[in-house]
Chains A and B, each alone.
Chain A
Amino acid sequence: MSALRLRLASRNWNSLVIREAIAGYFFILPTLLSFLVFFLIPTISGFGMSFFEWDFFSEPEYVGAENFVELFSDKLFLRTLRNTAIFAVSATSLNVGLGMFIAIGINSIKWRWLKAFLRTSYFIPVVISTVVVALLFGFLLQESTGVVNYYFSRLGIDRIPWLTSSTWAFRSIVLIDVWKHVGFFTLIFLAGLQGIPSELYEAAVVDGAGRLVRLTRITIPLLTPSLFFALIIALIGAFQVFESMYVLTNGGPGDATRTVVMLLYREAFGSFNMGYAASMAVVLFVIILALTVSQIWIGDRWVFYR
């Protein structure tokens, strides 16, 4: 085809190249404009804003790195950072770990109807909005009058303060997150499993490998690309968690379930400390960036590339 291209080009090289370039810019124009207006300019000014003190009513005042200094001596911010990190680690490992096991389980079931049923049931919560999920669990998990605790009490389990005690509120939020998202990760792993060539298993069977060996020597190594992808997605998402806490606990009791984004939202649109909120966003960005980059870097060592 290069010959054809060459012929076309030689006929009217200049105008064709220019026309193609114009066409190129035309086609990317909407995306590029939106990128500039809603991403690039805001990102740059967002970073800039983190060096100012500004409350929307008076003139912004340049304060250098003061916001950041204040941020790291702000007990509440450090608490929310810790909450967010613990949430991210626990939600990510449960979502990804359970998702992987469920996917392997579903994959090893032979009956197609059961497979389809399981895949559907685990995936349904993924499409429901987090707000609806949170409102629903807020009702089911009431301490004294809730449905879940009622059945637990019938089983002889003491009432659990699902949303009222600090430790349990945090756990409940993680569990609700897993309920909502585990299906998504299951699906990612199911896709990964479909990509494993069946010849590999057949060859292993011929070699006399048992189920466990096949699982640890073929399935899991060949799933590492999916695992890698799932980990990155899960961590980025978990660090920005906001909705379920906002709806269910509003950060409480105490500050047990307050996250960085909740604090950022309140600082920006509650107290109108725009510069301070912007500096929180910058810290969040740096954390996410560092985690992603280091995951990619470490990933080189353990992800199995074919």
Chain B
Amino acid sequence: MSFASSIPSKPNPILLWSAALLAKLRDKWQTYLVNALIGTPLIAGALIMFLPLVWSVSFSFGQPHEFFKLPPPVIPSAIRLDNYESVFQRVDFARFFLNSVAVTACVTIAQLITCSMAGYAFARLRFPGKRLIFILFLASMMVPQHVTLIPVFIIIRGMGLYNNLGALIVPYATSVFGTFLLKQFFETIPNELEDAAKIDGAGFLQIYRLVMLPLAGPPLATLAILTFNSSWNNFFWPLIFINSAEKMTLPLGMIYLRGQDGVTNTGVLMAAIVLNLIPVLVFFMIFQRKLVEGVTLTGLKGA
């Protein structure tokens, strides 16, 4: 703005033209400067985010004697897959992986069904006690799960689910948070759609299945991704309810692998870490946009 004010009152066309050019250059230069000034520390931070992951990959190819060589090799001397083979030999890593897949798939699918059902009911149906039940649901989000831990342990035991993958699925088959998410969404669907279906003689189940669900793609995708992430990474629950190696999911299996101190070498542990990272990162790359949308959506809803 200061440049503009210095322009004389009787504008000279050449001066005006050069001033515009200068302003343009200055804008461009400023953009670069700002990008560089802000970008540099941010890129440095991003490197800190990446570096540990890069190290884990390079060490996963390493041989025992290399871990104690300083400087540690950032680029492995050779791509050897011995450590990866060892992961599968030393523990039943494939089993951990399949357990994780089974648990996560069941929990995610179950939540998509139960949350959309309950969300639909809270958003579109009238029934006695609705408000009270919903408020109770919301209040439960504030209670840490450790309060319920011991009684739930007794209940799970009573159901015969102790040391069973069911213990990791059944309590997570529904979600208050997901119900809330879907309710918020279903409330935005215009009444006309529902009424038209009613006139055509559709029942509530049909409205839910044929009108509501087809529209609920985006929030369901959000819920699926968030559920996948939390279920895949769940550690506390398996720690308490799973005791045997054959029922372990990946996070618990990792601790168990490390526990075999004498047998496990660092390269094997690093290889196992990389094997853990691969599916999560693939998942992340595919669903990145949705994930960002999901956090955005939930973030905004929370505010």
Q: Within 8 Å CB of A239, what residues of B?
A: 144
Contact of A247 with B by CB under 8 A:
yes
Question: Are B151 and A42 in contact, CB atoms less than 8 angstroms apart?
Answer: yes
Nearest chain A CB to B2 CB, angstrom units: 10
Question: Are A187 and B137 in contact, CB atoms less than 8 angstroms apart?
Answer: no
Which one of B125, B174, B277 contacts A20 once the chains associate, using CB atoms below 8 Å? B125
Bound-complex Cα distance A1 to B124 (A): 14
Question: Number of A-B pairs whose CB atoms are under 8 Å?
Answer: 280
Spot the interface stretch: B17-25, B87-95, B127-135: B127-135
Question: Are A289 and B142 in contact, CB atoms less than 8 angstroms apart?
Answer: yes
Spot the interface stretch: A66-74, A110-118, A163-171: A110-118
Contact of A195 with B by CB under 8 A:
yes
Q: Within 8 Å CB of B235, what residues of A?
A: 129-131, 243
Q: Within 8 Å CB of B34, what residues of A?
A: 108-110
Q: Within 8 Å CB of B8, what residues of A?
A: none
Contact of A145 with B by CB under 8 A:
yes
Contact of A79 with B by CB under 8 A:
no
Within 8 A of A (CB), among B100-120: 113-115, 117-118, 120
Of A42, A288, A289, most buried by chain B (CB within 10 Å of CB) is: A42
Contact of B31 with A by CB under 8 A:
yes
Contact of B86 with A by CB under 8 A:
no
Question: Are B144 and A35 in contact, CB atoms less than 8 angstroms apart?
Answer: no
Which one of B133, B140, B155 contacts A28 once the chains associate, using CB atoms below 8 Å? B133
A305 and chain B: residue at smallest CB distance:
B303
B240 and chain A: residue at smallest CB distance:
A269
Contact of B160 with A by CB under 8 A:
no
Bound-complex Cα distance A45 to B67 (A): 51
Question: Are B144 and A281 in contact, CB atoms less than 8 angstroms apart?
Answer: yes
Question: Are A188 and B295 in contact, CB atoms less than 8 angstroms apart?
Answer: yes
With A1-B192, A131-B254, A247-B255 already in contact, the answer to whether A35 and B49 are too (CB < 8 A) is no
Bound-complex Cα distance A128 to B278 (A): 10
Q: Within 8 Å CB of A233, what residues of B?
A: 302
Q: Within 8 Å CB of A27, what residues of B?
A: 117-118, 120-121, 125, 204, 208
Bound-complex Cα distance A105 to B38 (A): 6
Q: Within 8 Å CB of A284, what residues of B?
A: 144, 146-147
Bound-complex Cα distance A293 to B119 (A): 26
Q: Within 8 Å CB of A35, what residues of B?
A: 136-137, 140, 174, 176
Contact of A41 with B by CB under 8 A:
yes
Number of A residues with CB within 8 Å of any CB on chain B: 104
Within 8 A of A (CB), among B140-171: 140, 142-152, 155, 170-171
Question: Are B232 and A129 in contact, CB atoms less than 8 angstroms apart?
Answer: yes
Bound-complex Cα distance A151 to B252 (A): 31
Main secondary structure of the interface of A (DSSP, over half): helix
With A114-B39, A288-B142 already in contact, the answer to whether A46 and B117 are too (CB < 8 A) is no
Nearest chain A CB to B223 CB, angstrom units: 13
Spot the interface stretch: B76-84, B213-221, B265-273: B265-273
Bound-complex Cα distance A188 to B283 (A): 20
With A31-B176, A140-B52 already in contact, the answer to whether A45 and B144 are too (CB < 8 A) is no
Spot the interface stretch: A85-93, A196-204, A222-230: A222-230
Which one of B42, B130, B192 contacts A102 once the chains associate, using CB atoms below 8 Å? B42
Question: Are A21 and B127 in contact, CB atoms less than 8 angstroms apart?
Answer: yes
Q: Within 8 Å CB of A136, what residues of B?
A: 52-53, 55-56, 270, 273
24 A-B pairs with C-beta separation under 8 A: A20-B204, A23-B127, A24-B126, A31-B137, A31-B176, A38-B171, A42-B149, A46-B151, A49-B151, A105-B41, A105-B42, A127-B229, A127-B280, A128-B276, A131-B255, A136-B53, A187-B295, A191-B300, A195-B300, A225-B303, A240-B144, A277-B150, A281-B149, A289-B142
- B-side interface residues toward A, CB under 8 Å? 1, 31, 34-35, 38-39, 41-43, 45-46, 48-50, 52-53, 55-56, 59, 67-68, 70-72, 113-115, 117-118, 120-122, 125-128, 130, 133, 136-137, 140, 142-152, 155, 170-171, 173-176, 179, 191-192, 195, 198-199, 203-205, 208, 229, 232-233, 235-236, 239-240, 250-252, 254-255, 258, 266, 269-270, 273, 276-277, 280-281, 283-284, 288, 291-292, 295-297, 299-300, 302-303
